[in-house]
Chains A and B, each alone.
Chain A
Amino acid sequence: MIVFVRTIILYIFVTLAMRLMGKRQIGELQPFELVVALMLSELATLPMQDTAIPLIHGIIPILTLMSLEILISFLTLKIEFLRKVFCGTPDILIKHGKVSEEELRRQRFNLDDLIEELRMSGYLDISDIEYAILETSGKLSIIPKAEKSPVTKEDLNLRPQATKLPVSIILDGVLNKKNLAITGHDLNWLMENLRSKGINDIKDVFIAMIDSKGNLFIQRRDRDEEENKK
Chain B
Amino acid sequence: MNYVLIKTSELTELLPLRCSYQTELDLQLAIQSIGLGSKGSNQTQYLNYGPQLQSPHLEAVIARFLPEIDYASLFMILNHEKLKTCIQSNVLLSHYQIPPTNHVMKTLERSTAWSDSTLNWLLQKKIKPHEISFLNLLSAAECNQLMESMGSSSLSKMDSLKLLETASELLLMKIDISAALNTQPWNEKTVVEIHALRYPKSFTFNPVKQIELKWPKNISTQTKRIQDKMGYQVQFFVSHPEELTQTLSQLEKVVPDWASKLEKLNS
A binds B: no
